[in-house]
Amino acid sequence: MPVLLRLQKLLQSPLFWFLATSAFTLLYYFAAHEGFYFGDDYSYSLYAHQLLQGTYHLDEYVFCHRFMVFVPTALFYWLWGMNIYTTTLWPLLCTLGTYLLLFLTFRRTHPSATSWALVLLGFYYFQLNTSNYLYPDNILLFFSAACLLVLYKARSPLPNKSAKIGLGLLFATLNLLAFLTKETIVYAVPFYGCVFLYHIYSRKNRWFWVTAAVSGATFLFLYFYLYAFYTGHAFQRFIDIQNAGLADTSSTFISQPFISHLPRLTYGPILFFIGSGLAIPLIFAALYFFIPAKPKLINLQHPLSFWAVATLAMLLPIWVGSVSLGYYKPMPLLPRMFHPLLPAFCVLAGLSIERIGEKRWIYALLAILFALSAYLAGGVMWTLYLPPMLFFLVAFFWPVLRKAWLALCVVALAQAVRPAYFMLKPTVSYYFEQKNIVDQHLAHPEGNYTVYMDSTMLRRHPFFYGFKVPSNYTFKGYAAFDHHLTAPTDTTFLLINNGVLEHPELMMQLREKDILPFFPTAKLLDQKGKVKLYYLPQKQQP
């Protein structure tokens, strides 16, 4: 077989793209690992540690209710110890597990669609970005995909009563686990309702729904009963969510007129999709509306209709819905908030491409849509939209390029540019460098020591010690230093992590040049990357 034909066959194989996306994700996980984000991940890691120590308790913080984020992490801590890789292993496994679910479900019946779905999901930057942080979003991605795929299997009549009961119990269990991961699984409920009504109308799989309803109701009863038993209020989780929402929302926002939300409810999400890169799967998913002689949308037994309704039914509530029942507040337009929708986006895109074929006018339409996206996104986003636009434009005039597998390769390469940049660029937080300095210089078993550090590290430094901070160390902010005071300390250290100080998302105002004048006699002890450790001679120690 000629080399080109072998290459073509390889690039058309769902197995190849499953292995490619998995390998690319693993490469990103290690090469772009920033260690800690010093945000939500700190809380989840702390809860996992508390579970192992027997000190975990509900603390009125929203994250403490998301057991499926930190319980598996606690298991990894117990098995292999606490470090940054055991902290982020669970999101990685869920990411790879999502690829596996899609591959196993569609590889035989829709091989081309499988390849497209894997590429659109596995090379999407913001999905990769949350694969190496302890955040709930990629964990929810796995459970939401699993729930949708169970419904997909149940869309057709099941062979026997046992299969219906087993699948119904699995569906209820997966939704419970998703709910224990993050509350945004509720955006799938409208689609569940659509499938339920379709099955009721067509008199299919009643035992599936009876089992799912009974087991789901039982799970919820036990869930709320345990909350009532341990906290005194069955709905404590929702109370904490409401209080957190009020704390994060100004009274000005709540009282502003509804018309002020019109940009968010109309063109805002479209610009967000383009700016975040989500426009790529959505552009291909939009081809559904151009498929000739497609099945009726209400025919959920057909794969194309099933995933089209899934996309629309899940997108609508997150587009126009509110995160609060007490006042109107749309869901923030953050890429990770849309993770539960990614499986539907990507599968619909793959099925639409598979069904619509290689018609010439399709290439013209795609070239126009990608050109428009490149124009609206602006900045460096041209690297994402311009290569596909040029390919579809050239293919419009040159028929030999009108091959779906060629387009797939171009899209994969275009999507890989941004993740590759983050793999190759220097670290931002310099977590590993700071961890090295802490282990080497700030872990004396005896003596008394004081360490001055920035406000972020002052709150998050316990993680560097596995939440077992040495009792002979005192940690203070830079502003707490006063050289006129004296204290019983053997050595005073000044720790400056310029990566954290300069981190654009942490928005810290201090810089090293502002800090050092307060410590005029500080002597550099060690430096690793942008992390510097100074010691203060005894005469200036407080």
| The pLDDT value given to residue 476 | 93
| Lowest mean pLDDT, pick from 443-457, 473-487, 488-502 | 473-487
pLDDT band for position 434 (50/70/90)?
A: very high
| The pLDDT value given to residue 510 | 86
Per-residue pLDDT averaged across 346-365, rounded?
93
Q: Which backbone phi and psi does 458 adopt, to 5 degrees? A: -65, -35
Residue 489 has pLDDT above 90, yes or no: no
Summary mean pLDDT of the chain: 92
Per-residue pLDDT averaged across 123-137, rounded?
96
pLDDT band for position 485 (50/70/90)?
A: low
Given a contact cutoff of 8 angstroms between Cβ atoms, the answer to whether 168 and 215 are in contact is yes
Given a contact cutoff of 8 angstroms between Cβ atoms, the answer to whether 84 and 35 are in contact is yes
DSSP alpha helices (H): ranges in 232-336?
236-248, 251-255, 262-265, 268-276, 279-285, 303-320
Q: Give the 3-state secondary structure of residue 242.
A: helix
Report DSSP letters for 47-59, one per residue.
HHHHHHHT-----
| The pLDDT value given to residue 250 | 67
Tokens of 309: 């309704």
Alpha-carbon span 307 to 302, nearest angstrom: 9
| The pLDDT value given to residue 540 | 46
| Lowest mean pLDDT, pick from 120-129, 404-413, 515-524 | 515-524
| The pLDDT value given to residue 484 | 54
Residue 407 has pLDDT above 90, yes or no: yes
DSSP alpha helices (H): ranges in 398-465?
404-424, 431-441, 455-460
| The pLDDT value given to residue 389 | 97
Residue 486 or residue 123, greater confidence: 123
| The pLDDT value given to residue 1 | 56
| Lowest mean pLDDT, pick from 74-88, 248-262, 432-446, 452-466 | 248-262
Tokens of 205: 């799989």
> Nearest CA to 304 among 258, 353, 267?
353
Residue 521 has pLDDT above 90, yes or no: no
| Lowest mean pLDDT, pick from 265-269, 422-426, 511-515, 536-540 | 536-540
Alpha-carbon span 205 to 157, nearest angstrom: 6
Given a contact cutoff of 8 angstroms between Cβ atoms, the answer to whether 138 and 127 are in contact is yes
pLDDT band for position 68 (50/70/90)?
A: very high
Handedness of CA 64, 66, 67, 71 (dihedral sign): negative
| The pLDDT value given to residue 507 | 77
pTM, two decimal places: 0.94
| The pLDDT value given to residue 483 | 62
Which residues make beta-bridge pairs with 533?
Answer: 495, 526
Tokens of 95: 């990411």
pLDDT band for position 47 (50/70/90)?
A: very high
pLDDT band for position 341 (50/70/90)?
A: very high
233 secondary structure, DSSP code:
-
